[in-house]
Structure 1
Amino acid sequence: MYDLLGSRGTIDMGIRREATVEEVLLSHRRRKRHRRTILNDIEKELDVLRDKQNAAGRDLDLWRGPAGYKAKFSNRNTWLMTREIGVTCTWGTSVWFPQATPKFAFMVWLATRNRLATMDRVASWSPGIDTTCCLCKNALETRNHLFFECSVSAHIWKQLTQGILQSSFASNWDAISSLITCASMGKQKRFCLRYVFQTTIYSLWRERNRRRHGEAPAPKEVLLKQIDKAVRNKLSLMQSKRVKGLEGVLQYWFGTRL
């Protein structure tokens, strides 16, 4: 530039004679407007070089994903990378399903996770207490015994579900859990089985607590009628609302009664 413009040119541009192009680009000198066209052309060329340099060294916002860093943000990938992936719950839909009664579903959720205060669990933090099942008076009270290995609860369960399950009837907790999660079962049959399962567990646990607190025990036939009535009331309400796919569910329930 000195050879082209002489000493006056460097003064007009505000650039040292010994300065390199890099120093000029990195400096914070203010762009000037000159009377001489060649000086304005040099200013324009410096602006172009400065823009190219900034573009090459500019910081970019990149988002980390499973396949590396990308310029586009993904809600799904961010969620998957920040959450802790657990084991898939296979029984969730059999507990929390449409038209379920919340307090019944909550009780079944506790029972499924084995968090009910059955006497075998109570004995672990309070030794020396009576752990006998208060329904049948014959065995240690555990979740599996109470639902439905106990002679009282087994009788009620059989009367309620034998007509629904037919040859696949079971009174073992694990077998029942497998049945209510079966996706190939008809919609009416599946709903009735799940709902009577939840209603029975809630009613038996309530009766168990009443007896534990010294109240008079209700005969098993009375419990059976109460559960059956609760199920019929629910199905009648659903039929009046014309729930899709369950229009004839009340008639189906009556058809399964022994």
Structure 2
Amino acid sequence: MLVGGSLWGKWVQTNLLKRKSFWEVKESSHIGSWIFRKMLKMRSVAKTFYMKAVGNERHTSFWYDKWTELGVMSDLLGDRGVMDLGIRREATVEEALCNNRRRKRHRRVLLNDIEKELEIIKAKQRADVKDVDLWRGNMRFKQKFSTHLTWQLTRAPGAQCTWSRGIWFSQTNPKFAFMAWLALRDRLTTMDRVSNWSQDVDTACVLCKNATETKKHIFFECSFSSRIWETITKGILLNIYSTSWDDIIRLITNQFMEKKKRFALRYAFQTALYMICTERNKRRHGEQPRPLLVLAKLIDKAIKNKLSLVQSKGVRGLEGILQYWFGTRM
């Protein structure tokens, strides 16, 4: 932002930096907005992604820009470096090369290496070529800055989520998808989890009354929910039909399944999960239970309404999906 020609960058340079280098401003400074002060604190990371390719050296700070593979001079030499090299703190690389100071022989090896580097840079100096900003890539520094690549290089990579595409997909219902996401993250308030922080609670499944209420039991080991799942998806899955939670997640994340079948299965899964959760919550709070067949019909109707809407939009690959659904009814 500061090296480009943006209005914000020019304003910062004029009103906040006031001819100083961005790298020179103290981290404890109270100037600027919260976001600007946050940028100051992130400079240690930013330094590893930025350097200068010198041309005429007129716009490259000798002390604060990285213009050599040796590193940033202010970091290498500290405050004493100004006296050791005889180069003022505000100097550009061009000024360091053109002043009349004599080259010294220093006791420190690093100072001698810097003197040699200045001689090399001076020999390569090109008065007609501007200095270029370079940004770190995978293997080397480049002139083009990539937000995506920078993010990939700065973040700590975690394990890849294998089920996300089965939950977040085009044309889904956001509230259904969110409920499914909570289930995949084990964040539903099933009674086995409630019992961990609340003693003496009834952990029995309110749908079947036959087992402890867990996520995997409700979806779809429970005799109540398994019959609904069978009614909704047996015609889609046929010989690969399963009530196992792990098997179902593998099925909805299968990218090689035919598109209409995959969409119908994913949406049926999310709709059934949402409606069964809603029914479970109503029963848990003392409301009148709905019969299994009534709930199954409501789920089927919600799915058909969505498929009809998707078909009317003419979504590519999902043409005739409502007819496909009717063809799977057993």
TM-score, with length taken from structure 2? 0.60
Q: Distance in 2 between matches of 1:84 and 1:60?
A: 30
**Pairs within 5 Å for 1:1-258:** 26-27=99-100, 52=122, 55=125, 63-67=135-139, 70=141, 72-75=143-146, 76-258=148-330
Q: Distance in 2 between matches of 1:175 and 1:113?
A: 16
Deviation at 1:139, TM superposition (A): 0.4
Contact 2:195 2:203 (C-alpha < 8 Å) held by counterparts: yes
- Encode CA deviations 1:118-147: one digit per residue, 9 max, x unaligned: 000111111211100000001000000000
TM-score, with length taken from structure 1? 0.76
Larger Rg: 1
Deviation at 1:27, TM superposition (A): 4.1
Amino acid in structure 1 at the alignment position of 2:297 = K
Per the alignment, in what secondary structure is the counterpart of residue 115 of structure 1? coil
Report the more deviating stretch, 71-80 or 222-231.
71-80
Amino acid in structure 2 at the alignment position of 1:74 = F
Contact 2:132 2:143 (C-alpha < 8 Å) held by counterparts: no
Listed as ranges, the gaps of 5+ residues in structure 2 are 1-97, 102-118
Deviation at 1:83, TM superposition (A): 1.4
Decide which structure has greater helix share: 1
Q: Distance in 1 between matches of 2:258 and 2:142?
A: 48
- Encode CA deviations 1:50-106: one digit per residue, 9 max, x unaligned: x947949xx9855444435x2535314322221121111111111011110000000
Q: 2:61: which partner in 1?
A: none
Amino acid in structure 2 at the alignment position of 1:103 = K
Question: Of the two structures, which has the highest relative contact order with CA contacts closer than 8 Å and spacing of 6 or more?
Answer: 1
Amino acid in structure 2 at the alignment position of 1:78 = T
Paired residues in the alignment total 211
